Structures are given as C-alpha cells and as structure tokens.
Amino acid sequence: MAFADEITEIKRIKVDSGCQYSEPIYLTWLNEYGGSSYWLFKKINSKVIETKEGGYYEKYLTDLDAQGNDAIIRKDVELTQTVGARVNKSDTDGLNGLFKSLKVKMLNITKWQADSTIEWSDVRVKQGSLIYYDNNAEYITLEFEIILPKQYTIGE
C-alpha cells in the first residue's frame, strides 16, 4: 500500500513554450499500451469538402417538357482537415501510434472557448495522407489529413 508521501511512478511530460498556433487542432488517441496520448497540431489549410454520389437512375419520361432524364439517389459529404506539426525526432515513436490507432478524437475548440465545457469529436486519420519531411538531424515535420465527423447525407 502506498502512502501519500511515497512516489509510486515517475512520469515525464514535455511542455513546449506555449501554444504558438492561431488555430490549433488538439488530438487524443488510444495508444498501443492502452492509455491515451495527446498532441497539439496546427491547422495547415481550411477544410476540404469531398462529395460522393451513391448512384443515379434514369427517369421514364412521359412529357416532352422534362428538364432531364436522370436523378441522383444519394449524395455523401466528407469534410477533411490538413494538420501538421514540427516534432523532435525523439517524440516520433509516440506519434506513430496516432496513425495505427482506431480511436482518435479531436477537441472541439470553439465550444471549449465559448462555454468552457470539454467536448471531443470522433475523427479518423485519412488513409495514405501522411507526409513526412526530414528537415535536419533534430526535427521532422509531419502533415496529414483527418476526416471530420460526417455532417449529413441526402438521399431520395
């Protein structure tokens, strides 16, 4: 049994010189040891909207005044956000778990700033989106895309 004045475990936490990003993206993920890992990334560009059609069909026309003979069955919208960070090479082992993890969450910064409640949204790291720059012997630059929560699906 541990008493209040005993140290049972030593944890090392790296703290940078504060948030230097104007629009930060804070991610957490389930790491390979079963715990949570965290990292603050910067937003690289604005959101990208990708749309996909779920098929279409041809209408039977009985009227010569028709405006077209096909219609879309369903349309899906996927929002992605490119994020990045300049990382010390000694920290890359921990960040590799982000790309392997099945559980990745993003802090909803706008809600947190508005009413001080912490709300996390499920996101996914887009497959094949990792860009890795080896700048020098000490730091690397990472860029990748995250898929934001699905907004809506429209269908007939």
Tokens describing residue 90: 């000694």
According to DSSP, residue 135 is labeled: -
- Does any domain span residue 18? no
- Does any domain span residue 115? yes
Q: Helix or strand or coil: residue 99?
A: helix
pLDDT tens digits, residue range 3-22?
A: 667 777 777 766 665 556 67
Give the pLDDT confidence score for residue 105 in this predicted structure.
94
> Span 142-146, mean pLDDT?
89
How far is the C-alpha of 152 from the C-alpha of 42, rounded, in Å? Answer: 26
How far is the C-alpha of 108 from the C-alpha of 148, rounded, in Å? Answer: 11
Q: How many domains does the chain have?
A: 1
Question: CB under 8 Å, gap of 24 or more: what pairs does 58-64 form?
Answer: none
Tokens describing residue 3: 């008493």
Between the alpha carbon of residue 32 and those of residues 3, 40, 72, 92, the distances in Å are 30, 19, 43, 14
- Does any domain span residue 138? yes
Give the pLDDT confidence score for residue 122 in this predicted structure.
93
How far is the C-alpha of 42 from the C-alpha of 23, rounded, in Å? Answer: 6
29 contact partners, CB below 8 Å, separation of at least 6: 36, 37, 97, 98, 101, 103, 104, 105
Checking if the pLDDT of 142 tops 80, the result is yes
Domain containing 89: what range?
A: 24-61+69-155
51 contact partners, CB below 8 Å, separation of at least 6: 75, 76, 77, 78
- Does any domain span residue 15? no
Confidence bin at 86 (pLDDT 50/70/90)? confident
